[in-house]
Amino acid sequence: MKIKAISLINFRNYRKIDISIDSKINLLIGRNGQGKTNLLEAIWLCGYGKSYRTSNTKNLINFSNKGSELRIELNNLGFKNEIKVLIHENVKKIFLNDKRIKNRAELRKILSAVILDKDFKNNLEKSFKPRRIILDSVISNFSNGFNKKLKLYNKEIKRKNELLNSNGNNELLNFIDNRLIEYSYKVSTERKLWLSRITIFSEKILKKLNPEFKLELVFNSYCTNTKLLSEKFKLNSEKEKKAKRSLTGSHKDEISFLFNGSDIFEFGSEGEKKSVSMALKISEILLLKKINNAFPIILVDEIGSEFDEERFNFFFNFIKSLEAQSFITANNKNILEKTKNQQFGIFSIIDGDCKKIS
């Protein structure tokens, strides 16, 4: 899949832009706060029907306007497609080739993407909860079925917490717990399966940087054992009533990546953390290619802040070797020196105005 044109009207800080894309690798150059990330967000929004940065649709509309419009033209194996997103206050309408669609899964067949930004590594470094959430977003990119199971699970957890907070009756709590036992098993089992696959891919990638690099996944969960899972729900029943919140289920899964026996995102060096983050994202790209038989669009936000010289060269050589289109932002012109004599599309972004300069 290749993006051929992007048009934005009143999206974020863009009043109106129309740009043609004819390069495989596209560099978006500009200072901080000029709109580079907003352009990546627009691409993601057209592929997934939602932003990866905000759940408030109004935030996507340019200040003082009530609506915005996004259009992306694509070429998929010789077939031309157009995705259009119309936003009016809190209402969002999505069109594929002028036909309105309501199932976002249809968009992924036309435009899938992988985004690598500092938030990915930052969330991996935090507690188990943000680490689990960010990895769930990666798995959801592979499996719409997992995404549906996760939504059902989260819906039941919300219902249970509301009941616990209002001292709800035991019969209804037992009914919800039975559903959560079923969903917990399905979510955690699939979560572990995908993370195992990602880890295998990632270790192979890391060994190209360092042949001694051995990556190990530790998935600490009782939810993949139905007997243990049911016992845990019964054991925690009274504790949950006192705490007035759910203490049991897939949202308690603990995920760690070990290097030499230690959690790399807790005890590893900055370089090791960046290497593993990069490897996990490269694995996402390669797995999507295997699943969809087509490479996703690769989005990289502020490449200079995430890579030192070694990892920069490794990643650039990787994306250059692929039949995949990428959009990469940078806040200084040093990247132009590193990539000179390359046939890249180069765009300058200044205060919501995007112009092709090469």
pLDDT at position 331: 82
Residue 334 half-sphere exposure, CB side, CA atoms within 13 Å?
12
- pLDDT surpassing 90 at residue 312: no
Domain 124-293 has CATH 3.40.50.300: no
Q: For the domain 1-112+295-358, what is the CATH code?
A: 3.40.50.300
Handedness of CA 140, 143, 144, 145 (dihedral sign): negative
In tens, the pLDDT along 192-210 reads 999 999 999 999 999 998 8
**Measuring CA to CA, how many Å separate 134 from each of 116, 156, 157, 274, 280?**
12, 20, 19, 15, 11
255 and 128 Cβ atoms separated by less than 8 Å: yes
Residue that wins the pLDDT comparison between 188 and 341: 188
**Closest by CA position to 75, among listed 111, 27, 114, 26:** 111
| pLDDT tens-digit map of 10-33 | 999 999 999 999 999 999 999 989
- Rounded to whole angstroms, the Cα distance separating 173 from 42 reads 42
User: For residue 280, which phi and psi values (nearest 5 degrees)?
Assistant: -65, -40
* pTM (whole model) above 0.95: no
The string of pLDDT tens digits covering residues 263-277 is: 999 999 998 999 999
pLDDT on residue 260: 80
Identify the pLDDT of residue 188.
Answer: 98
With beta carbons less than 8 A apart as the criterion, state whether 3 and 323 touch.
no
Reported as a single tens digit per residue, the pLDDT across 112-160 is 999 999 899 999 999 999 999 999 999 999 999 999 999 999 999 999 9
Residue range(s) in the chain whose domain bears CATH number 3.40.50.300: 1-112+295-358
pLDDT per residue as tens digits for the range 277-308? 999 999 999 999 999 999 999 999 987 666 77
Numbered ranges of CATH 1.20.1050.90 in the chain:
124-293
Mean pLDDT of the chain: 92
